[in-house]
Structure 1
Amino acid sequence: MSDRSDLPAYEGPPVNVPPPPGWRVESVALTGEPRRLPPQDHAAINADEQRARLVTHWITLVSVALMFTVLVIGLLNG
Structure 2
Amino acid sequence: MSDRKDYDGPPVNVPPPPGWRVEAVALPSEPRRLPHQDHAAIDVAEQRARLVTQWLTLITVALMFTALIVGLLSG
When the two chains are superposed, the root-mean-square deviation of aligned CA atoms in Å is 1.3
Indicate the percent of aligned positions where both proteins have the same amino acid.
Answer: 72
Gaps of 5+ in 2: none
Aligned to 1:61: 58
Hey, what does 2:46 align to over in structure 1? 49
Instruction: Report the TM-score, using the length of structure 1 for normalisation.
Output: 0.85
Paired with 1:51 and 1:32, the residues of 2 have a C-alpha distance of 39
Q: Distance in 1 between matches of 2:38 and 2:32?
A: 19
Cα distance in 2 for partners of 1:15, 1:48 equals 61
Shift of 1:21: 3.1
TM-superposition CA deviations, 1:19-69 (whole Å, max 9, x none)? 123432233121100011111100000011001101110110111011101
> Which residue of 19, 31, 48 corresponds with 2:16?
19
Question: Which residue of structure 1 lines up, in the alignment, with residue 28 of structure 2?
Answer: 31
Q: What are the superposed Cα offsets for residues 4-23 of structure 1, whole Å, 9 maximum, x if unpaired?
A: 3x012111122221212343
Q: State the alpha-carbon separation in 1 of the partners of residues 19 and 58 from structure 2.
A: 69
